[in-house]
Amino acid sequence: MTVLVTGADGYIGWPTALRIATRTDDRVVLVDNFARREWVESVGSTSAIPIQGMEERLAAAEEVHGLSNLSFVPTDLTDKSAVDRLLSIHEPNVVVHTAAQPSAPYSQINGERANYTQHNNLQATRNLLWGLHEHGLEDTHFVETTTTGVYGAPEFPIPEGEATMENGGERDEVPFPAMAGSWYHLTKSHDAANMRLAHTQFGIPISDVRTAITYGTETEETAADPRLATRFDFDYYFGVVTHRFCAQAVAGYPMTVYGKGEQRKPFIALEDAVEGLARLALEDPASRPDDHVVYNQVTRAISIVEIAETIADVAGEYGLDVAVEHFENPREEDETHKMEIENDRYDALIGGQSTTFEEGVREILGALLEYEDTVTAHEDRFLPGVLTDDEADETVVEYEDDESTEEADTAATTRGE
């Protein structure tokens, strides 16, 4: 058997690849184009925790965990012929697709970055799905980390998958409407729809894993050696809210809550996200439903203000005195939205969450304190507006603009993850 992990240089992809490879002797093929490293650099930031190049990572994985089943193929997934080569050579039985431009604020910098994000994410997924079909690999289990952001912020409990629609006295189960709130998030709504279509048309078994805001610095495998560390971003564009707040606490900055901050957002620890993806990747094909399954990859919904207060409390344990400040909200969002989200299927998959949010914050702050100098050297990157228009123009990464007119029409809101 062969498992292909895309986005394998990324925050989630790297620890996922390691977890899968430690649980099987089968081949695990890693793919990435290192775009994330360039994006973060282009907005003037860096991973707070130092990360190695892929060669060093693989050598360390072999030395520390005895993993000789990992290999890496540098590939830009928007290049159809490269994806075709990849699939025809490796013939994966499972694809764990985590490659994407995953930042909402980055996708909102300007129209060019919105185009780039939608082109990158949609084309990569389409290339993989069509590639599986065109190479006779329709039995390959396709697992993608989409996002809980596809749901938007509805006033009812979010189902784990389909929504019930009633009209004219009749009812049916329908795909959840694409209510994403950013140009990035909408790429995942489109991916969800494209995966459904690929399942219907080609019969590809799909696990659409709607990933929540993921927090944490390490997993069991990455913690074993500093050379195996995964990246940790804390800037406005690429730092998720928990990571940014923890970095602010370490740098002695007050935590910036936009508006009231009473809106609840869905969260999951990196460890619990990686575990679910590894279990899906290694599911016995005989017991796997030959189907299209949606997982809400979330363990808890937490309000932004609760996050800030938990971090302030835990920071106190480290002798840090951290204030929580409310700023005018630059985003259009309901500041009191009580998100409720069903997660029974995902919870059953991983057998319940492994750590509490508070424990996660303790781990992050402990790790970040070791790299305090890196964080403080980039503390001007915490807030929006750090890029002038000219600087934003300079963030342009060249790409073949052969299909950059994907449709999307929602307004700016939040990175949401």
Ligand X SMILES: NC(=O)c1ccc[n+]([C@@H]2O[C@H](COP(=O)([O-])OP(=O)(O)OC[C@H]3O[C@@H](n4cnc5c(N)ncnc54)[C@H](O)[C@@H]3O)[C@@H](O)[C@H]2O)c1
State the residues that interact with ligand X by CB under 6 A: 7, 9-13, 32-36, 75-78, 98-102, 120, 124, 145, 147, 211, 213-214, 240, 417
- Amino acid of residue 226: P
Question: Active site includes 188?
Answer: yes
- Amino acid of residue 21: A
Q: Which of 151, 188, 214, 395 is catalytic?
A: 188
Least distance CB 416 / ligand X (angstroms): 8
Least distance CB 52 / ligand X (angstroms): 13
Cβ proximity to ligand X: between 300 and 326 the closer is 300
Cβ proximity to ligand X: between 325 and 400 the closer is 400
Which residue, judged by CB position, is nearest to ligand X in the bound state?
10
Is 185 within 8 Å of 192 (Cβ atoms)?
Answer: no
In angstroms and rounded to an integer, the radius of gyration of the C-alpha atoms of the chain is 20
Question: Active site includes 184?
Answer: yes
Q: Which of 98, 117, 125, 147 is catalytic?
A: 147
Cβ proximity to ligand X: between 290 and 359 the closer is 359
Structure tokens at 336: 């009191």
Cβ proximity to ligand X: between 89 and 165 the closer is 89
Distance, in Å, from the CA atom of 17 to the CA atom of 10, rounded to the nearest integer, reads 10
Which among 246, 233, 228, 225 is positioned nearest to 37, based on CA atoms? 233
Distance, in Å, from the CA atom of 210 to the CA atom of 144, rounded to the nearest integer, reads 8
Dihedral over alpha carbons 300, 302, 306, 307 (to 10 degrees)? 80
Structure tokens at 202: 């080609």
Least distance CB 293 / ligand X (angstroms): 17
Q: Give Cα 375 to chain centroid, integer Å.
A: 22
Distance, in Å, from the CA atom of 75 to the CA atom of 67, rounded to the nearest integer, reads 22
Least distance CB 112 / ligand X (angstroms): 16
Q: Which of 11, 106, 151, 184 is catalytic?
A: 184
Q: How far apart are the first and last CA of the chain?
A: 32
Cβ proximity to ligand X: between 32 and 235 the closer is 32
Least distance CB 279 / ligand X (angstroms): 16
Q: Which positions are catalytic?
A: 147, 184, 188
